[in-house]
């Protein structure tokens, strides 16, 4: 067991909340040329994933000191706020005023380190990410307290990226924001990392996160604050994992599906992935290709995996 505290941070939105939807629709009025990646229901759909992710955390990682849930003037109706291990953090507590209104999770993620009371060592998860096996802190941090940086091997190398740009091969917003992060690290430190996010729970040190935002990449990150919706000009948070590697303050590990498995919602047999790979972590990833019928299958699947109510629930 580690000798230091480790917290867990979630970013969560209830896209079914009428009041929140009114705010967003008002902002979107008269906006044209919007990319489906930025406005897709997948960005905001809530299928109670957070409830089951918390059940998985309590069951498989009880050593987590505290859980922070970052929201936009919301809170889950089922959440037990009398539990001292959980706290709601409104985005206005951490992001600069010029970023408001903010319907871009990428921007919010740049300021996680400003969460009041957050421990030096912390984990970050989206609400669709789950623990699927008992694990200890050493899964996320090595014996020196440095984060283990989990990446997925990229199908596109640096040279393929260049070929894609020369021949104007189209790509999506998400890929472009990862490319921006990789280029920033290369320009600053002369190191290029081609690994991509593994779509699962990642580990960070608050000091490194802060130094990247407030010192090494301040101008680049602050120039994106007014991207109120997702934009190809954003900088994906993988920049903080690349940063830890470049500063020799992180240990690189490429993942397999047995360690970290991403299940897309449009894939119909969720349980097949669990039984085939028995992953330590898994992500049930909503995308703009998923349908409402796909989303209806989420809760029964998660209830079967995590049927026991946690101490985070009323």
Say whether pLDDT at 308 is over 70: yes
**Residue 310 included in any domain:** no
Q: Which residues pair with 150 in a beta bridge?
A: 253
- Residues 84-110 as b or e (16 or more Cβ within 10 Å = b): ebbbbbebeebbeeebeebbbbbbbbb
The pLDDT of residue 39 is above 70? no
Q: Which domain holds residue 154?
A: 6-305
Structure tokens at 225: 């604050």
196 vs 217: CA distance, rounded Å: 20
The answer to whether residue 313 sits within a structural domain is no
Q: How many angstroms separate the CA atoms of 292 and 283, rounded? A: 18
Q: What is the mean pLDDT of residues 84-112?
A: 97
Distance separating alpha carbons of residues 252 and 258, to the nearest angstrom: 17
The CATH number for 157's domain is 3.90.550.10
Through-space distance between the first and last CA atoms of the chain, rounded to whole angstroms: 29
More confident residue, 270 or 157: 270
* Torsion sign (Cα): 201, 205, 210, 212: negative
1 located within any domain: no
Confidence bin at 172 (pLDDT 50/70/90): confident
Mean pLDDT of 226-247: 96
Q: Are the beta carbons of 60 and 133 closer than 8 angstroms?
A: yes
- Name which of 270, 220, 261, 266 is nearest 240 in CA terms: 220
Residue 264 covered by a domain: yes
CB 102 within 8 A of CB 90: no
CA distance 252 to 230: 28
The two structure tokens encoding residue 62: 């009880």
pLDDT score of 288: 76
Asked if the structure places residue 209 within a domain, the reply is: yes
Closest CA to 11 of 36, 46, 35: 46
Is 100 inside a domain boundary? Answer: yes
Position 125 in a domain:
yes
Q: CA-to-CA distance for 76 and 206, rounded, in angstroms? A: 26
Predicted local confidence at residue 245, as pLDDT: 98
Q: What percent of the chain has pLDDT over 90?
A: 75
Element (H, E) at 21: helix 18-28
pLDDT value of residue 171: 62
Q: Is residue 312 part of a domain?
A: no
CA 282 to chain centre: 13
Q: For residues 97-104, give the mean pLDDT.
A: 96
Q: What is the pLDDT of residues 20-32, one digit of tens each?
A: 989 988 988 877 7
Domain count, the chain: 1
Residue 42 has pLDDT above 60, yes or no: no
- Beta strands 281-285 and 129-131, pairing class: antiparallel
Measured from the Cβ of residue 248, the count of other Cβ atoms closer than 10 Å reads 8
Percent of all residues in the chain with a pLDDT value above 70, rounded to a whole number: 91
pLDDT class of 165 with cuts at 50, 70, 90: low
Average pLDDT of the residues of the chain: 91
Q: How many other CB atoms are there within 10 angstroms of residue 197's CB atom?
A: 19
Given this model, what pLDDT does residue 183 score?
Answer: 94
Mean pLDDT, to the nearest integer, of 154-162?
58
């Amino acid at each position: 067991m580690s000798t230091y505290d480790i917290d867990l941070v979630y970013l969560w939105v209830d896209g079914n909340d009428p009041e929140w939807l009114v705010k967003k629709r008002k902002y979107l009025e008269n906006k044209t040329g919007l990319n489906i990646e930025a406005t897709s229901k997948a960005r905001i759909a809530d299928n109670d994933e957070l409830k089951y992710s918390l059940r998985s955390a309590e069951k498989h990682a009880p050593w987590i000191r505290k859980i922070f849930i970052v929201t936009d003037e919301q809170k889950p109706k089922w959440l037990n706020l009398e539990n001292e291990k959980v706290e709601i953090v409104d985005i206005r507590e951490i992001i600069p005023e010029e970023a408001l209104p903010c319907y871009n999770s990428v921007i919010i993620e740049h300021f996680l380190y400003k969460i009041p009371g957050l421990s030096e060592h912390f984990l970050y998860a989206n609400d669709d990410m789950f623990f699927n096996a008992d694990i200890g802190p050493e899964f996320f941090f090595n014996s020196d307290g440095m984060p283990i940086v989990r990446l997925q091997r990229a199908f596109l190398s640096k040279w393929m990226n260049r070929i894609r740009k020369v021949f104007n091969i189209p790509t999506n917003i998400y890929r472009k924001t990862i490319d921006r992060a990789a280029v920033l690290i290369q320009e600053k430190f002369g190191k290029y990392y081609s690994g991509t996010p593994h779509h699962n729970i990642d580990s960070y040190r608050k000091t490194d996160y802060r130094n990247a935002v407030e010192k090494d990449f301040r101008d680049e990150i602050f120039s994106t604050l007014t991207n109120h919706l997702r934009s190809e000009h954003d900088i994906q948070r993988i920049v903080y994992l690349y940063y830890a590697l470049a500063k020799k303050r992180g240990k690189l590990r490429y993942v397999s599906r047995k360690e970290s498995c991403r299940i897309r919602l449009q894939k119909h047999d969720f349980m097949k992935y669990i039984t085939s790979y028995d992953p330590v972590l898994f992500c049930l990833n909503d995308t703009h290709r998923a349908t409402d019928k796909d989303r209806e299958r989420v809760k029964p699947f998660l209830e079967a995996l995590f049927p026991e109510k946690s101490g985070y629930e009323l």
